[in-house]
Structure formats: structure tokens, C-alpha cells
């Protein structure tokens, strides 16, 4: 006979309590997930607007500068004055790593961190030419412990971050790029697919180039929105671009942050769900064990009583 | 047939749409000057100053929306105002704006002391935003 009756009983009680806690946490995460998904929708309208305008503007800008570059290649430095569109020789790479502040989110953090390390390795970077911008405590600790240059770290992102709250972060990221702290910027985060799956994504956000502007989607989008409209612009195209580009970069980073948070809630909810399920399994196994122990105790007792009776007769 | 042409205004920010209405006149301030937009105008793209957008709602009444920069895009009688932050006049949090103003002033003073041009420029922008919010909400 394994554990005593008392002990099994105690274990059942404690597992039940743990299961209750994880069950509650699951519900909380699910509620947060719903909230953030609603929020993401309203962000999407903003993002698509800004993207359509910027694609329109940048296309003509890129075309202009491309044709101009052909005619006078020697002066290309002067042509492209817009910092964010300019491809600089890459000396340093900035990597934004978005992780969670707390644990209990399943493989969410380890996934991001592992794949980010792979990205650093595959890109042929080393500790000296990588600048880490950590959003979320786990990533910050991981990279600073390993001697990486963590230029910026931010903890305590709200569960449903509003743009106003994260504005300082995104502004800092964009300013650091402007100041030449790094020459290209990757944003690494988990992209939310559905509540069970999220996939790692590393996006090159700066400098803004045709490929990360979704120009390849243009053919599809062209039919819905009229890119071919000839806009009157005030002031000049380039001046407007100069205003919009930082705004666009900020919105990109914010979008990634939203996406990461969404997938954090999702994976937290999944992790808690499987924890509750496990608790249920353990409880049923323990209950079986408990009943067996109880049964055998009764049998022993009966045998003893009948034995004693027989001895008396 | 001779229905008055109208245009639709919508103000979007990363935190969702802030304002939507139809009107026949919108006045906004771009970085180079004020512009009034009426229906059936040519498509227009313009960058906005940190100021207000006024949407005509009646004979002499306007809805006012405070915007922190951003840009406007007008095409097919739809005016989209895309800003990183915007509030309707009624929704402006004056105490918050007041705090932001004080903070920005402190930052400016500090930046001047340290001769940090970048910081100074940023602080001035936040000061302008705060003042813009305050002046709009204080207006009758």
C-alpha cells in the first residue's frame, strides 16, 4: 500500500487549490486577450491608413530618387536626405526583444529569446555590434546577464497598452536610430496567430524600405484603395514624408508591441489551461489511489474483526 | 438633385477612432498655414501643425478636435485625419495637460542648462502639445 490515507487526502486538497488558481488565471488571461484583440482592431484602421498614404508617397519618392540616382550616382548621399529611407552601411544592429515581465506564460519567453539568439548568430553579429532594446523584464535580464549591450529596457507594459503609454518607448527607439546608435533595426516578437499558436517574427523595421512597406501587397490593395490618385500636397512631398515617416515607424513598433502582448495573453491563457487540465488529471489519479487505500483499510479491518470473532468462539 | 454635397471626416489614432462626422466644411491648420476643406475638393495630403481641427456642424457652430501633429488625407470626399494623439474638445483632460505643461517646462529649462539641443526640441514639442490642449479646452 502506498501513501497513507491522510497524506493522499492532503495532496488532493492542495492540488485542487492549485487547480482553482490556475483556472482563475486562465479566465483572467482570456479576458485580457479579448480586450486587447478589440483594441488591436481599432489600431488596424490607423495602421492601414498610414500605410496606404506612406506607400503612395514613398513609392513616388523612391522612384524619383531611383531615377535621380541613375543620372547622378556620385551624389547619392545628398539625394536621399530622408533619414529613415536611407540605407546606411550597417555597423551596428539594433534588436528590439519583446518578452513578458512575468512567467507562467508557457514557452512564450524562451521561444522569443532562443530565436533572437539564432537571429544574432545567423546574421553573423556578435556582442559588440548588437544593441539590445529590451521590452519586458525576462529579455532584459537574459541579455544583460550574457554581457550584451542593453541600450534601453522597459518593464511594466500594461496589459492593454495604449499608444499614449508606450509613446516614450517607441519615440526612444526611433530617436536612437536617428542618432545613429544603430543602422538597422529588427523587432523580434511572437506574432499572434490564434489563441493556441503564435509564431516568432523578426521584422526589419528601419530603415524603411520598399519590402517592409508592403509594396508587394500593392497589387491587391490597389483595387480597393486608390493609390493612383494624384494628390495635391502641402507642403512638398518630401516635407510630408519627413513628418509621416517617424509617425509610421512609431506605429510599426507599437503594432508589434500590441501583437506581442496579444500573443502573451494567449499563451498565458493556454499555459494556464493545460495546468488546470493537469491538475484535474492528478486529482483523478489521486482519488483512485485514495479509494483503493480506503477500501484496503476496510478489508483489513473486517478481516481483523472476523479473526478476533473466530478466536473468541 | 441639388442636395448639398457633404464630406466625411474621421479622426483616427493608434488607440482607435476618435471622431467621425459629416459636414460641409473642415478647417485645419497645416504646417504651412490654415486650410479649409470643402466637399468635392481635389485630393489633398498635408501635414498638420499641433493645433485644432474645426468641423462645421451648424450655421456658426464648430466641433473642435485637438490634434498632436500627424497628417490629413482627403480623397473621394473622405477626410482622414491621422494623428498619433487626438481628443475632442470635451474629452481633454485639463489637469493632465496642465501637468504635462509643467513637466515640459522643467525639461526645457534642464535642456537649456545642459545645452542638449535634441532634448530641447523634443521638450518644446511636448510643451506645444500641452499648451494646445489647454488653449482649446479653455476656449468657449
- What CATH number has the domain bearing residue B78? 2.60.15.10
CA distance A102 to A14: 24
Is residue A7 assigned to a domain?
Answer: no
Per-residue pLDDT at A305 exceeds 90: yes
C-beta neighbour count of A127 within 10 angstroms: 12
> Average pLDDT, stretch A106-131?
85
The residue of chain A nearest to residue B71, with distances taken between CA atoms, is: A244
B115, B75: one domain = no
What confidence tier does A300 reach under pLDDT thresholds 50, 70, 90?
A: very high
What confidence tier does A71 reach under pLDDT thresholds 50, 70, 90?
A: very low
Instruction: Identify the pLDDT of residue A216.
Output: 43
Domain that holds residue A164: 27-270
Residues 6+ apart with CB under 8 A from A39: A160, A162, A258, B15, B16
Per-residue pLDDT at A222 exceeds 60: no
Mutate to test the interface with A, among B12, B14, B68 (most CBs of A within 10 A): B14
B64, B105: one domain = no
Are the Cβ atoms of B31 and A239 closer than 8 angstroms? Answer: yes
Grid cell 506607400 is found at A55
What confidence tier does B19 reach under pLDDT thresholds 50, 70, 90?
A: confident
Are the Cβ atoms of B44 and A232 closer than 8 angstroms? Answer: yes
ipTM over cut 0.90: no
B47, B85: one domain = yes
B24, B63: one domain = yes
B18, B82: one domain = yes
CA distance A167 to A60: 29
Using DSSP, state whether A208 is helix, strand or coil.
coil
B79, B99: one domain = no
Return phi, psi of residue B15, to 5°. -95, 20
Q: Rounded to a whole number, what is the distance in angstroms from the first to the last CA of chain B?
A: 37
Are the Cβ atoms of B84 and A239 closer than 8 angstroms? Answer: no
Shortest Cα–Cα distance, B36 to chain A (Å): 13
Q: Rounded to a whole number, what is the distance in angstroms from the first to the last CA of chain A?
A: 31
Residues 6+ apart with CB under 8 A from A105: A264, A267, A268, A271
B7-13 and B44-56 strand pairing: unpaired
B102, B80: one domain = no
Is residue B31 assigned to a domain?
Answer: yes
> By the CB < 8 Å criterion, does B32 face chain A?
yes
Shortest Cα–Cα distance, B35 to chain A (Å): 10
Closest CA to B129 of B47, B48, B68, B64: B68
B62-68 and B26-30 strand pairing: unpaired
Is residue B47 assigned to a domain?
Answer: yes
Is residue A291 assigned to a domain?
Answer: no
Is residue B20 assigned to a domain?
Answer: yes
- Interhelix angle B117-138/A163-178, rounded to 10 degrees, is 150
CA distance B35 to B25: 10
Per-residue pLDDT at A151 exceeds 60: yes
Is residue A142 assigned to a domain?
Answer: yes
Is residue A256 assigned to a domain?
Answer: yes
- The domain tally of chain B equals 2
Instruction: Identify the pLDDT of residue A15.
Output: 94
Q: What is the pLDDT of residues A244-295, one digit of tens each?
A: 777 887 888 888 888 889 999 999 999 999 999 999 999 999 999 999 999 9
Domain that holds residue B69: 7-89
Per-residue pLDDT at A47 exceeds 70: yes
CA distance A167 to B126: 12
Q: What is the pLDDT of residues A201-220, one digit of tens each?
A: 888 877 776 555 554 444 44
The residue of chain B nearest to residue A49, with distances taken between CA atoms, is: B82
Mutate to test the interface with B, among A59, A233, A234, A245 (most CBs of B within 10 A): A234
In chain A, % of residues over pLDDT 90: 23
Residues 6+ apart with CB under 8 A from A287: A12
Are the Cβ atoms of A46 and B13 closer than 8 angstroms? Answer: yes
Are the Cβ atoms of A46 and B69 closer than 8 angstroms? Answer: no
Using alpha carbons, list the distances in angstroms from residue A259 to A67, A229, A251, B28, B42.
37, 32, 12, 33, 37
The conformational region for residue B115 under phi > 0 = left, psi -120 to 50 = alpha, else beta, is left
* Cα B61 from chain centroid (whole Å): 17
> By the CB < 8 Å criterion, does B93 face chain A?
no
Q: Could you tell me which residues of chain A have a Cβ less than 8 Å from any Cβ in chain B?
A: 39, 42-43, 45-47, 49-50, 53, 57, 162-164, 167, 171, 175, 179, 226, 229-235, 239-240, 243-244, 247, 250-251, 254
Is residue B57 assigned to a domain?
Answer: yes
B69, B113: one domain = no
Per-residue pLDDT at A224 exceeds 70: no
Is residue A15 assigned to a domain?
Answer: no
* DSSP letters spanning B45-104: EEEEEEEEEEEE-SSS-EEEEEEES-EEEEETTEEEEE-S-EEEGGG--HHHHHHHHHHH
Return phi, psi of residue A157, to 5°. -65, 135
Q: What is the pLDDT of residues B97-120, one digit of tens each?
A: 888 888 888 888 888 888 777 778
B52, B81: one domain = yes
Per-residue pLDDT at A167 exceeds 90: no
B103, B58: one domain = no
Is residue A299 assigned to a domain?
Answer: no
Is residue B2 assigned to a domain?
Answer: no
Shortest Cα–Cα distance, B17 to chain A (Å): 7
Sheet of A93-98, strands arranged across: A149-154, A130-135, A93-98, A184-192, A198-206
Instruction: Identify the pLDDT of residue A147.
Output: 86
C-beta neighbour count of A170 within 10 angstroms: 23
Q: Strands, E, within A107-247: which ranges?
A: 130-135, 149-154, 184-192, 198-206, 232-234
Is residue B1 assigned to a domain?
Answer: no
Instruction: Identify the pLDDT of residue A65.
Output: 55
**Cell of residue A226, nine digits:** 486608390
Q: Strands, E, within A50-109: which ranges?
A: 93-98
C-beta neighbour count of B60 within 10 angstroms: 6
Q: What is the pLDDT of residues B24-46, one digit of tens each?
A: 888 888 888 888 888 888 888 88
Collect all residues of chain B within an 8 Å Cβ-Cβ radius of residue A226: 75-76
Collect all residues of chain B within an 8 Å Cβ-Cβ radius of residue A37: none
In chain A, % of residues over pLDDT 70: 83
Query: For position A105, which CATH number holds?
Result: 3.40.1380.10
B17, B81: one domain = yes
CA distance A15 to A20: 9
Is residue B56 assigned to a domain?
Answer: yes
What confidence tier does A53 reach under pLDDT thresholds 50, 70, 90?
A: confident
- The domain tally of chain A equals 1
For chain A, the average pLDDT equals 80
* DSSP letters spanning A40-54: HHHHHHHHHHHHHHH
Are the Cβ atoms of B32 and A234 closer than 8 angstroms? Answer: yes
Sign of the Cα torsion A142, A144, A146, A149 reads: positive
pTM of the model: 0.78
B20, B78: one domain = yes
Is residue B18 assigned to a domain?
Answer: yes
> Average pLDDT, stretch B119-134?
82
What confidence tier does A122 reach under pLDDT thresholds 50, 70, 90?
A: confident
CA distance A280 to A249: 47
Is residue A243 assigned to a domain?
Answer: yes
Structural domain ending residue among the three candidates B70, B89, B108: B89
Amino acid at each position: 500500500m502506498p501513501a497513507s490515507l491522510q497524506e493522499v487526502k492532503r495532496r488532493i486538497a492542495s492540488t485542487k487549490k492549485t487547480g482553482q488558481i490556475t483556472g482563475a488565471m486562465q479566465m483572467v488571461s482570456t479576458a485580457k486577450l479579448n480586450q486587447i484583440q478589440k483594441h488591436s482592431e481599432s489600431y488596424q484602421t490607423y495602421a492601414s491608413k498610414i500605410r496606404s498614404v506612406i506607400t503612395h508617397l514613398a513609392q513616388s519618392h523612391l522612384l524619383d530618387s531611383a531615377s535621380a540616382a541613375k543620372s547622378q550616382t556620385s551624389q547619392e548621399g545628398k539625394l536621399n536626405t530622408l533619414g529613415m529611407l536611407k540605407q546606411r552601411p550597417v555597423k551596428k544592429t539594433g534588436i528590439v526583444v519583446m518578452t513578458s515581465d512575468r512567467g507562467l506564460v508557457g514557452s512564450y519567453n524562451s521561444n522569443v529569446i532562443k530565436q533572437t539568439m539564432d537571429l544574432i548568430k545567423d546574421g553573423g553579429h556578435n556582442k559588440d555590434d548588437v544593441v539590445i532594446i529590451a521590452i519586458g523584464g525576462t529579455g532584459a535580464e537574459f541579455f544583460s546577464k550574457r554581457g550584451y549591450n542593453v541600450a534601453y529596457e522597459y518593464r511594466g507594459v500594461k496589459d492593454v497598452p495604449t499608444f499614449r503609454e508606450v509613446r516614450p518607448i517607441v519615440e526612444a527607439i526611433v530617436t536612437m536610430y536617428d542618432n545613429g546608435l544603430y543602422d538597422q533595426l529588427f523587432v523580434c516578437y511572437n506574432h499572434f496567430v490564434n489563441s493556441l499558436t503564435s509564431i516568432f517574427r523578426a521584422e526589419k523595421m528601419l530603415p524603411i524600405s520598399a519590402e517592409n512597406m508592403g509594396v508587394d501587397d500593392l497589387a491587391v490593395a490597389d483595387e480597393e484603395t486608390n493609390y493612383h490618385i494624384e494628390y495635391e500636397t502641402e507642403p512638398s512631398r518630401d516635407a510630408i514624408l519627413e513628418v509621416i515617416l517617424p509617425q509610421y515607424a512609431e506605429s510599426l513598433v507599437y503594432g508589434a508591441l500590441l501583437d506581442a502582448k496579444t500573443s502573451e495573453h494567449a499563451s498565458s491563457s493556454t499555459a494556464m489551461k493545460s495546468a488546470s487540465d493537469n491538475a484535474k488529471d492528478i486529482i483523478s489519479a489521486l482519488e483512485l489511489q485514495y479509494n483503493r487505500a480506503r477500501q484496503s483499510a476496510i478489508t483489513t479491518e473486517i478481516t481483523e474483526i472476523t479473526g478476533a470473532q473466530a478466536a473468541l468462539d | 438633385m441639388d442636395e448639398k454635397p457633404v464630406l466625411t471626416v474621421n479622426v483616427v489614432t493608434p488607440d482607435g477612432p476618435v471622431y467621425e462626422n459629416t459636414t460641409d466644411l473642415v478647417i485645419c491648420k497645416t504646417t504651412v498655414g490654415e486650410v479649409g476643406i470643402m466637399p468635392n475638393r481635389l485630393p489633398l495630403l498635408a501635414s498638420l501643425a499641433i493645433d485644432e481641427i474645426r468641423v462645421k456642424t451648424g450655421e456658426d457652430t464648430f466641433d473642435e478636435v485637438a490634434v498632436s501633429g500627424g497628417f490629413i488625407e482627403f480623397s473621394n470626399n473622405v477626410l482622414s485625419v491621422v494623428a498619433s494623439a487626438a481628443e475632442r474638445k470635451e474629452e481633454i483632460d485639463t489637469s493632465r495637460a496642465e501637468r504635462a505643461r509643467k513637466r515640459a517646462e522643467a525639461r526645457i529649462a534642464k535642456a537649456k542648462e545642459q545645452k542638449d539641443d535634441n532634448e530641447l526640441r523634443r521638450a518644446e514639442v511636448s510643451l506645444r502639445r500641452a499648451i494646445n490642449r489647454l488653449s482649446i479646452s479653455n476656449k468657449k
